[in-house]
Structure 1
Amino acid sequence: MDWDLSTPFTITIVVDAAAIDHYGHVNNAEYLRWVEQASWAHSRSLGLSLDDYRALDRGMVVHRHELDYLAPAFAGDDLRLATWIVACDGRLTLTRRFQLIRPSDGATLLRARTRFACVALSSGRPRRLPEAFRDLYGGALVTEPA
């Protein structure tokens, strides 16, 4: 597949009828749900689960989402959603990029970017990234082309 960046982490999505809106294609809110699914799956693959977040009293919460809807998806479509960590400041934030491709025709349906901030789960207040977050997320960093 023609990924925007190298070495993507990917999940497979098969569009079910519940994702379809009144216009006959995937509802825009579904794409955001898939972005969240890919983020959690990637974090788990790096060794950070929800249990780890709770034990460290830290979480990465969304500060900003940017989603560019490029083409529609339909019921039954088999899709691949890729994510990359493209920024991690080692203090408070990290940024992910996403690309959704329909392999049957190679079409990119979505490009997205999400910026996360680290907070204490107990208070919701901003806190420094714990060492485990810095090591695992920082170690997965992919450099974007200039």
Structure 2
Amino acid sequence: MTDNQAAGSRFELPIRVYIEDTDAGGIVFHAKYLHYMERARTEYVRHHGIALRAGLADNISYVVQRLSIHYAAAARLDDRLSVSAELVACGRVWMEFDQKVTRAEDGVMLAEARVKVACVALDSGRPRRIPDSIRSLVDQDQ
């Protein structure tokens, strides 16, 4: 796969809104959407058989480099959500995801984001080439 080439394969993670996710009015706090999206990206990788602990043992970590988010509607206490992660582009040291949070009951889109994740050396924080296991994940999604 070359830089900026689209990858595909959308992954969906169900999530329930708990009291800890909300403000006093029962509305989800804006930063919680980022937690939901992080979980969906992590489960996307796990779903494809990539062990994240193995990466840590190999001095590899992933950090959010860039994030653009649009909040369209509020999630509320006890809502069932569907959080998607779709790998849409990949470079030598980064991956880019499109993500959406929708309410499961009616399919209303609550938030959407474009998230660029960089691969870095855990000990130094310096950019590092994406491991072959991740690259093969990208290639199989085409």
Shift of 1:49: 2.1
Other structure's SS at 1:28 match: coil
Residues 45-66 of structure 1 show CA distances to partners (whole Å, capped at 9, x for unaligned) of 1122221212332222110111
Aligned partner letter, 2:54: D
What is the TM-score of this pair, normalised by structure 2? 0.87
Higher mean displacement: 121-130 or 6-15: 6-15
Other structure's SS at 1:12 match: strand
Structure 2: runs of 5+ lacking an equivalent: 1-7
- Partner residue of 1:118? 119
Other structure's SS at 1:52 match: helix
Shift of 1:36: 0.6
Shift of 1:38: 0.6
Percent identity of paired positions between Structure 1 and Structure 2: 35
Aligned partner letter, 2:19: A
- Partner residue of 2:5? none
* Ranges of 4+ aligned residues in structure 1 off by more than 3 Å: none
Match of 2:71 among 59, 69, 72: 69
Indicate whether 1:80 and 2:82 are aligned. yes
Distance in 1 between residues matched to 2:56 and 2:72, nearest whole Å:
36
Alignment root-mean-square deviation, CA? 1.6
- Partner residue of 2:50? 48
Distance 1:57 1:137, change over 3 A: farther
Structure 1: runs of 5+ lacking an equivalent: 1-5, 142-146
- Partner residue of 2:28? 26
Q: How many residues of Structure 1 are paired with residues of Structure 2 in the alignment?
A: 135
